[in-house]
Amino acid sequence: MPQTQPARPLITGTPDPAHGVREVLTALLGYLWLADHPSFSMRRAHFAAAAMQQAMRLRRLLPGRLLLIVSREREHLREPLRALFGPDPAVEVVLDRRDPGRQERTPEERRRSSVDDELRLVGVAVGYPPLGRPVPPPIAAPDSR
C-alpha cells in the first residue's frame, strides 16, 4: 500500500476568496503608505503604480458595486483610496460611521462582525452598498480646449 504524503499548505493561492481580498487590500494599503512616506520619496511613482495595480486586482476579484469602509483610526486612508478609485463610479469610499462607544449589538450587527474584524485588522473593510442606493455618475474628463 503506497504511503500518502500529508497535504501541504497552499503557498501561492487560496481557495478562500475573502483571504485573497484581504491579501490584495493589505498590499494596496502598504503601497499607499510607501508612496506617501518621506523616506521613499525617490520611488513614490513606483509605489503609486504598485498601489494602482493592487486596486485593479481588487476590482477583478470583486467586480460590481463596492463599498470600502475605512476605520476611524485610519481616517487618513480615505482620501488616498478615493483618489485611487476615483475614476470608478461603482466604488464608494466612506468612513466608518458607527458609534464606537456602543457595546450592545443587534443580531444583524453580529452578522456583520467580519466587517469589525477587517476594520480592526486591516483598517479597511469591503462591503456592498444597498441595492437602492444610486451609483454616482462617472467623472467627466477635463475639457482640453
Residue 120's identity, in one-letter code, is: R
pLDDT score for 81: 93
Pairing of strands 66-70, 91-95: parallel
Q: Rounded to an integer, what distance in angstroms lies between the CA atom of residue 128 and that of residue 21?
A: 14
Condensed to tens digits (0 to 9), the pLDDT of residues 66-112 reads 889 999 899 999 999 999 998 888 899 999 887 666 655 666 665 55
Residues belonging to the chain: 145
Check residue 102 and give its pLDDT: 60
User: Which neighbouring-strand residues pair with 69?
Assistant: 94, 125
Q: Is pLDDT at 135 greater than 70 in this prediction?
A: no
**Confidence (pLDDT) at 80:** 92
Q: Which residue intervals of 37-131 are DSSP H helices?
A: 44-61, 78-85, 107-111, 113-121
The pLDDT assigned to 60 comes to 87
CA angle (62 as vertex; 110, 13 as ends), nearest 5: 95
Q: Encode pLDDT of 28-75 as tens digits.
A: 999 999 998 888 888 889 999 999 999 999 888 888 888 899 998 999
Give pLDDT, residue 15.
41
pLDDT at residue number 8 = 37
